[in-house]
Amino acid sequence: MELSFYLVQLLNAVQYGFLLFLVASGLTLRFGIMGIINLAHGSFYMVGAYLAYWLTDLTGSFWLAILLGLPIALGVGYLVERFAISFLYQRDHLYQVLLTFALILVFNELQQILWGTDVHGVVIPEILAGSIPLTDNQSYPVYRLFISAACIAIACGMYWVIQKTRLGMMIRAGASNREMVQALGIDVNRLFAFVFSLGVALAAFAGMLAAPVDSVYPGMGENVLIISFVVVVIGGTGSIKGTFVGAMLIGLVSTFGKVLLPEMASIMVYALMAIILLWRPHGLFGRAV
Amino acid sequence: MSALIRSMPLLAALLALVLFPQFGSEYYVGLVSRILIVALFALSLDLLIGYTGLVSFGHAAFYGIGGYALAIAFQDASVIPLWQALPLSLAAAAFAALVIGWISIRTSGVYFIMLTLAMAQMFFYFFFESPRYGGDDGIFLFLKPVLMVGSEDILKLDQENNFYYFALSCLVASYLLLLMILRAPFGKVIKAIKANEHRVRALGYSTSGYKLVSFVIAGTLAGLAGFLEGVHSGYINPSYMSWHESGICIAIVVLGGMGTLYGPIVGAFIIILLQNFLPELTEHWQLLFGGIIIAVVLFLPRGATSLYPHLRELIRRPQRGEREPQEAADD
């Protein structure tokens, strides 16, 4: 195999890593700030993909679908936080696991009622439909580059919000000491609702971006969910930097695993996690809890 | 005497279960057999969730390993001796629990939940992607184990009633074993770990050792449940260890009432009967099922069996010297 082949795989790995980063950052923010474990996170990824499919069909434009879909996802996130998650902040993780597990069942069923069980595809928008030739017989689709670019933009935006704004200051403070933030007079409920909805929107956005390259099918969120857990565990909960490193590691291992050792690919990801945790029980950038 | 009275409902339930095959049709005997297996599975998880305070989200791994050990070792055998097959399944599940536990117990809280989930997924994918063990389709097992002494068959598990009583004995034996464990000093320590691990450590106990032992016991019993399910259904596939199974198992423990030994059994009856009969009501039964779990989490966090004392309070006769609630309200 030649160099360009590895280059293509490397680009794929990075793109997959970026998508994972989008999904997992929502998870890690919630662990860090709200102390909430949310299994239904994968469902929001699925909701995003289905919104992209449905709205593209309806409006005829992928861009319009994203534009309309994001507020819907934010709204769904807000409702779920208000009517389910907000009751669980003081409760044991066990109840959070159980309630969000039940939410998965509910979301899966709602998805089947609304959109059926067929597998759908979303057409790549025309501007991005081409591909860039690398060698005589290898080329790379522009859309995948676009995914990476969009994710980089979001990551930079998140970095800016979290490091440079007042809101980000509250988020960081919330992650390090929730009670103190509350004592300083910050409305933690509003902060939590915002962080939760933001996480939902990020997961849905990742689902929308992935819809044209991956097909849209029932249960598509669940694999993403568990891999995102692995990413969060490797990176250390609450650490955006750790999540980024974890997502890239998983992207590389799973993409190259599929090419080099197809039978072991899925296991390698978990084995990597086990090794990292044996070495650092709280993840690469996590703190002891 | 009062201990006897308090265990009356349990003994009555046991008696009903013992007599059930005499009245029930074969379909229902099969259904209750399945419930007994799931009850055993949930009971083993309760030792972790309800007593040790370890929220394991990967418990289905041991359930699956118990079944796979049976299927892999005996898929081509002409006869399956119970005294070989059963210990093998238990040993395999115990060993897996030792390894997963050793890795996971170093962490706690959310990490522990996610780590046990991820470790179980590793086993899931191992079997899912291995053509040698049937991959996605799993392994069929055409024979049922038999218990032999010399060349005499004492117990054949291919008859539904025989299997039923075997499963019931396994459940009762596990119940009694857990009861003994919990009354022993070991049980006091793990309950204390759930209440406050720091204090237990300050008292000089090596808490991780206790947690690991608890994890291995629970894993082994889950392996027993998996063995029974493999025998009962005659096939084993990766979905046995999917994370849905782990999630449902947690739901059973919580819905029944965690931290009690009868709670998971009640929970198993409720959930399996719901799963069996809700689909007749509506095609979208998962919506209802999810709704029920959400309602339990929000409104009945201590499970269905926590209603029992209230029920007893309602039907008990007022004792001497105690006034009727109506009179008290009149004052």
Rounded to two decimals, the pTM is 0.87
pLDDT of residue A283: 82
Q: Which residues of A touch B102 (CB under 8 A)?
A: none
In a domain, B195, yes or no: yes
pLDDT surpassing 70 at residue A70? yes
Range with lowest mean pLDDT among A248-257, B54-63, B190-199, B317-326: B317-326
Point out the residue among A102, A232, A267 whose CB comes nearest to the CB of B125.
Answer: A267
The per-residue b/e assignment along A171-185, b for 16 or more CB within 10 angstroms, e otherwise, is: bbbbbeebeebeeee
ipTM for the assembly: 0.84
In a domain, A231, yes or no: no
**CB distance from A1 to chain B under 8 Å?**
no
In a domain, A189, yes or no: yes
Q: Which residues of A touch B130 (CB under 8 A)?
A: 263
Point out the residue among A88, A91, A105 whose CB comes nearest to the CB of B290.
Answer: A105
State the total domains in chain B: 1
> Quick check: B128 and A281 CB within 8 A?
no
In a domain, B49, yes or no: yes
> Quick check: B107 and A281 CB within 8 A?
yes
Confidence bin at B285 (pLDDT 50/70/90): confident
In a domain, B207, yes or no: yes
* Torsion of Cα atoms, A252 then A253 then A256 then A257, to 10°: -160
Using CA coordinates, name the residue in chain B closest to A230.
Answer: B118
Token digits of residue B65: 């390993």
Q: Which domain holds residue A129?
A: 3-218
> Quick check: A106 and B287 CB within 8 A?
yes
pLDDT of residue B88: 94
pLDDT of residue B106: 84
In a domain, B80, yes or no: yes
Q: Which residues of A touch B117 (CB under 8 A)?
A: 226, 229
pLDDT surpassing 60 at residue B328? no
pLDDT surpassing 60 at residue A185? yes
The per-residue b/e assignment along A198-215, b for 16 or more CB within 10 angstroms, e otherwise, is: bbbbbbbbbbbbbbbbee
- CB atoms closer than 10 angstroms to residue B310: 8
State the total domains in chain A: 1
SS3 B177: helix
Distance CA B244, CA B270 (A): 17
> Quick check: B114 and A232 CB within 8 A?
yes
Is residue B229 a contact partner of residue B56, using CB atoms and an 8 Å limit?
no
In a domain, A250, yes or no: no
Point out the residue among B49, B286, B294 whose CB comes nearest to the CB of A109.
Answer: B286
Point out the residue among B49, B103, B117 whose CB comes nearest to the CB of A226.
Answer: B117
Q: Which domain holds residue B221?
A: 28-240
